[in-house]
Structure 1
Amino acid sequence: MIIKDLVFDEVPVRVYWPRTPTINKRRAMVFLHGGVGLFGDISKFDPFCNYIGRKSDSVVVFVRFRLAPEHPYPVPVLDCCTATIHLLKNAERYGVDPNRIIIGGDSSGGTFAAAVCHELATRKDLPRVRAQVLLYPFLQAVDFHLPSYQQNSSIPLSYKKRFLRFGLLYLTGRNVKVDEVIRGAHVPEELRVKYRKWVSADIIPEEFKDRGYVPPVLAPFSKEFYEKGKQALEPMFSPLLVEDTVIRQLPDTFILTCEYDIFRDDGLLYKKRLEDNGVPVTWHHVKDGFHGISMLVDFGPFKFPSEQIRFQHVIRFLECL
């Protein structure tokens, strides 16, 4: 791969170009990294970007967005929007077909990718985003008692309390107690009723409850906790909560979920919402997978051939675009 560090409208990026010659403009994938908006740098994701670019013969743009708590929500997402818009407007300058640009990300990067797609879905002055690739994304801050949250709350790399503590630090720029948020005290009853059609254990297929699920007893609504975290219910933070009018305009979507991941059910619920609104979805579920598996792809002496096989599903999806 040919690699260059560039700046897209004041947002630093690293761009990967395949070395193989071509007479046509290539597809491109804008990749947004995980790390809860707090962590993550190119050293952790360089192997994955190289792998995706080589195997799919695509240009890959890694966005080096600013991080919280110095730059809390929504700054990281807005940086991702800025970099993506720059590429859409200037695609040919980078050897990219403007009609074959994909937005993807893992974990919170998947959250950002979904949010960017929402922001661009109604833009008529830009080429339409071709697809989105969401790898085990976080997508909602309404219900932290879905089956996957209960089943996987104590699995290493996926501790529920730790993720939520980091998430609130990303959201607010300061440490916030998470116990009452976990119990749902931050959601007003009228919004809980509204969101139930999109976020509910009742929508999760029964096969995903086999490892256990107990309907929760929620905490009473607390205006104090709502005021501290009400931005968590915005679609830019919780993409699953966006209105159907936006969902219907989204591009082809690839969703990867992992069985041993607290965010598994977020992906399942988003898959259903997209399908219910006529959006083509390609879904791959890794039955023995866990949160963060993309970082094991092609990672030097620590690379796992099994993960490369699993991510062939992503490569095949990209090759069809």
Structure 2
Amino acid sequence: MSVLLRSFPVFDPHFVMMRATVLLMVIVTGLIGYYVYVPIPNTVSEPWKLMLLDATFRGVQDMCHLAQQVGLGHHLKALNFVITMFEMLAPQSSETVEVSDTSFDGVQVRVFEPKKVDGELKRSIIYIHGGGWALGSARMRSYDHLCRKMAKDMNAVLVSIEYRLVPEVHFPEQLNDAYSATKYFLQPEVLSQYSVDPNRIAVSGDSAGGNLAAAVTQQLVVDSSIKFQLKLQALIYPVLQALDFNTPSYQQNMATPILYKHVMARFWLEYLNGDPSFVQAMLVNNHTASNLSQLTSVRAHLNWTNLLPQSLIKNYKPVIQVMGSPQVIKALPALLDPRAAPLIADKGILQLLPRAYILTCEHDILRDDGIMYAKRLEDAGIEVTLDHYEDGFHGAMIFALPPTNFDVGNRIMNNYINWLDKNL
């Protein structure tokens, strides 16, 4: 009698572990891919690199928000710590540029002085860094590199302002710092100390720094105590208003890295020390509804149907709420203050301003802020150079060093410096 023997699979723990590991890797890879991937127009410079940069930035932001929720401090303070942790540089002079940290009227500044001696007075640029009035530093590697390069290439004295940030201070303290340092530098004895030609001085800044640069320029032209005025203002993708979050560029780029529509609204609320719950009202322009009489005098300054070319308007429509709540404007009157929103300044002020260079990027929610300001300046009789980058994105210029160096960032930086070199 034969016995039928049945074979059973032998349990192999190593095989099970391997399968579990592979499955876990697939899941993790999928989650990372889901987090990293965002739809980016293929006309953006190096889209995959931008995608990875954006994912990193969003990841750090999420961790900082979590830190605030568990009571470890304000998320923007934590975010700035992370951003600057590996970026902060002590003043390091080179063979061509002497770098020093000092203070102008109590405001910290970093000064870059070319060592080349030619017996003539030098040009000068006052630079104000970006970062939503809450992030960044004049001592960061990226801004140190930019100002050092400008000093060297242009044989110019660079003054990079280290203004105070949110959450320690709010509007108008950032502007007060920038203005105080600029006004101090424009004193004849200080200009003489740094061998600067008083007739060849510019102010410049990127993003929120562009906002402060524009506001400083507007304040200087009405300050009767100023003996020397600026020759140029150079604004790099500036943020200039918070009354319309639905311009064509806001609609087109609301989800384009690295500056999102909702993030910009939150930066504004932090800067103006507003209630975070106002975000949604601002995103749908409920704070600028047509029934709010406070806006009557500034509506024309924001009418992008008249200020933008049809090539940018495309098929986008204005978002105008018929009935809105006056709550936001009432709580935040600075929304109607040109010191916070230089775009809404009266024409009488714009007519007094110096020649302008305004740089904009196609894939940037702030594109139209800069282009509308350029049109308003031109209508006021001011000569304007508008430098637009079809493959550019917000913040591109400061991403010019490894590992976050972008080709468009280097082009923007070089063209910006070349324009200043030719016109200052």
TM-score over 0.5 for the pair: yes
**TM-superposed deviation, 1:301:** 4.8
Q: Structure 2 residue aligned with 1:34, among 111, 118, 130?
A: 130
In structure 2, the CA distance between the partners of 1:202 and 1:58, relative to structure 1 (3 Å rule), is same
Moved more, 194-203 or 71-80: 194-203
In structure 2, the partner of 1:80 is 178
Secondary structure, counterpart of 1:194 in structure 2: coil
| AA partner of residue 22 (structure 1) | D
Name the residue aligned to 2:336. 233
Equivalent residue, structure 2, for 1:124: 224
Using a 3 Å threshold, how does the CA distance of structure 1 residues 74 and 37 change in structure 2: closer, same or farther?
A: same
How far the C-alpha of 1:125 sits from its partner, in A, is: 2.9
**Partner residue of 1:111?**
211
Picking from 274, 283, 306, the partner of 2:377 is 274
Pairing partner for 1:245 from 344, 348, 352: 348
Matches within 5 A, 1:50-61: 50-61=148-159
Distance in 1, matches of 2:377 and 2:108, equals 32
TM-score by length of 1: 0.94
**Residue 307 of structure 1: aligned partner:** 409
* 1:134-153 to 2 correspondences below 5 Å: 134-153=235-254
Query: What is the CA–CA distance in structure 2 between the aligned matches of 1:189 and 1:144, rounded to whole Å?
Result: 17
| Percent identity for Structure 1 against Structure 2 | 35
- Say if 2:306 is the partner of 1:206: no
Distance change >3 Å, CA 292–CA 284, structure 1 → 2 = same
SS in 2 for 1:259: strand
Say if 1:183 and 1:219, in contact at 8 Å, map to a contact too: no
1:157 is the counterpart of 2:255: no
- Per-residue CA deviations over 1:237-286 (Å, capped at 9, x if unaligned) read 00011111110000011000000000100111100110011111111001
Per the alignment, residue 261 of structure 1 pairs with 364
SS state at 1:172 partner: coil
Q: Structure 2 vs 1, CA of residues 116 and 94 (structure 1 numbering), >3 Å: closer, same or farther?
A: same
Q: Secondary structure at the match of 1:16?
A: strand
1:196 aligned to 299, 318, 327, which one?
A: 299
Shift of 1:318: 1.5
Distance 1:198 1:67 in 2: 28
Q: Specify the alignment match of 2:113 in structure 1.
A: 17
Does 1:316 pair with 2:418? yes
Q: Are residue 49 (structure 1) and residue 147 (structure 2) matched?
A: yes
Contact 1:69 1:174 in 2 (8 A): no
- 5+ residue gaps, structure 1: none
Identify if the C-alpha distance between structure 1 residues 317 and 168 changes in structure 2 by more than 3 Å, giving closer, same or farther: same
CA shift for structure 1 position 149: 0.3
Q: 1:255 to 1:181 in 2, by over 3 A?
A: same
Superposition pairs for residues 2-13 of structure 1, below 5 Å? 2-13=98-109
Q: Secondary structure at the match of 1:214?
A: coil
Deviation at 1:173, TM superposition (A): 6.3
| Matched residue SS, 1:119 | helix
Q: How many residues align?
A: 319
Q: Which has the larger radius of gyration?
A: 2
Query: Runs of 5+ in structure 2 lacking a partner?
Result: 1-96
Whose RCO is larger (CA < 8 A, sep 6+)? 1
Match of 1:101 in 2: 201
**Residue pair 2:396, 2:408 contacting (<8 A) in 1 also:** no
1:78 Cα offset (Å): 0.4
SS at match of 1:128: coil
- RMSD in angstroms over aligned alpha carbons? 1.7
Shift of 1:217: 4.4
Asked if the contact 1:99/1:130 (under 8 Å) is kept, the reply is: yes
Measure the CA separation in 1 of the matches of 2:107 and 2:198.
Answer: 19
* Matching of residue 290 in structure 1 with residue 393 in structure 2: yes
Shift of 1:124: 3.3
